[in-house]
């Protein structure tokens, strides 16, 4: 499994990846001096309450949010084509001729793509931290930096989503489905929270129908909340991320184990 992970990660040596990495670093420099997300949403009454700065906790910087978006976008493009291309080129037959189960192969790919996401994110974040140091002469505090890197928990479920779509569809279709999925998840983020804010009984039967759809998508707002680094909320967030990843990986595993992996034209 780790061999698959390593070989997936080695794609970073390709020139295209270096270009994407350079783009990520430059973007990190460009957004390094932006205010935290809590300040950016101050104009919106509800979002300012949800994402507002809490005493005793560290905020999420807008540059981190930008780094996250870029990393997810780049990993979407790279991760979505991994398995379909290996199937169409026949390389997957080479893997499965080794004593490696399909599940191990899938998990290897998952961790490989996760590593790619993390690398892009870390590179962008380091660029942000260095740029801030160069501009202001001061460095961000360790808790603040740690809070930014905690955002990487967002990659855990989304990498699983990318992998699941890539098992179900071809490379281009997987990219499209993943992007649409992320878009729909953003649309649904605020709705259940707004409904939860209504007095009891106001939502009525709307509540059931909305929640059926809502549970199909991860809520990105939870990752942007200000909370103490070591607490129940952060622990629950990690559990939440892993549970979503597990659901999608199990679905991907089921699909992958029943797929015809013969070379396609």
Residues that bind other proteins (CB under 8 A): 45-46, 49-50, 52, 54, 190-198, 201-204, 206, 210, 215, 219, 221-222, 225, 227, 232-233, 236-237, 239-240, 243-244, 246-247, 250
Q: Which residue, 54 or 141, is less far from other proteins as judged by CB? A: 54
Three-state secondary structure call for residue 36: strand
Nearer to other proteins, 17 or 240 (CB): 240
Smallest separation (angstroms) from other proteins to the CB of 33: 27
Name the residue nearer to other proteins (CB basis): 73 or 261. 261
Residue 67 and residue 119 in contact, taking contact as beta carbons nearer than 8 Å: no
The set of residues, in sequence order, having a beta carbon less than 8 Å from that of 265 and lying 6+ positions away, is none
Closest separation in Å from C-beta 228 to other proteins = 12
Shortest reach from residue 238's CB to other proteins, in Å: 9
Nearer to other proteins, 146 or 239 (CB): 239
Helix H segments across 52-154?
Answer: 62-89, 91-96, 102-136, 142-150
CB of 113 to other proteins, least distance (A): 20
Q: Which is nearer to other proteins, 7 or 210 (CB)?
A: 210
Q: How far, in whole angstroms, is CA 129 from its chain's centroid?
A: 21
Query: CB-wise, 118 or 221, nearer to other proteins?
Result: 221
Q: CB of 245 within 8 A of CB of 159? A: yes
CA distance 157 to 185: 12
Residue 30, number of CB atoms within 10 A of its CB: 14
Q: Which residues pair with 61 in a beta bridge?
A: 36
Least CB distance to other proteins at residue 196 (A): 5
Nearest in space to 2 (alpha carbons), one of 86, 105, 84, 80: 105
- Give min distance, CB of 36 to other proteins, in A: 16
- Kindly state the smallest distance separating residue 30's Cβ from other proteins, in Å: 30
Burial of 17 (0-12, 13-18, 19+ CB in 10 A): middle
C-beta of 70 vs 249, nearer to other proteins:
249
Residues near 186 by Cβ (< 8 Å), separated by ≥ 6?
A: 220
């Amino acid at each position: 499994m780790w061999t698959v992970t390593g070989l997936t990660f080695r794609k970073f040596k390709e020139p295209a990846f270096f270009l994407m990495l350079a783009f990520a670093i430059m973007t990190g420099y460009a957004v390094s001096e932006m205010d935290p997300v809590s300040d950016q949403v101050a104009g919106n009454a509800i979002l300012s309450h949800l994402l507002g700065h809490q005493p005793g906790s560290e905020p999420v910087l807008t540059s981190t949010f930008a780094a996250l978006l870029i990393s997810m976008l780049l990993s979407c493009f790279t991760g979505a084509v991994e398995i379909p291309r290996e199937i169409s080129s026949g390389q997957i037959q080479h893997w499965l001729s080794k004593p490696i189960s399909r599940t191990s192969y899938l998990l290897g790919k998952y961790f490989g793509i996760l590593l790619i996401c993390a690398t892009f994110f870390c590179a962008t974040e380091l660029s942000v931290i260095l740029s801030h140091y160069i501009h202001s002469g001061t460095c961000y505090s360790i808790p603040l930096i740690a809070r930014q890197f905690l955002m990487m928990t967002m990659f855990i479920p989304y990498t699983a989503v990318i992998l699941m779509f890539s098992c179900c569809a071809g490379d281009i279709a997987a990219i499209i489905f993943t992007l649409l999925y992320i878009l729909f998840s953003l649309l649904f983020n605020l709705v259940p929270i707004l409904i939860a804010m209504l007095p009891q009984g106001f939502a009525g039967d709307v509540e059931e129908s909305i929640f059926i759809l809502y549970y199909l998508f991860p809520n990105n707002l939870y990752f942007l909340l200000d909370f103490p680094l070591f607490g129940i909320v952060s622990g629950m967030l990690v559990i939440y991320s892993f549970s979503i990843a597990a659901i999608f990986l199990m679905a991907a595993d089921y699909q992958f184990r029943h797929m015809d992996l013969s070379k396609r034209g």
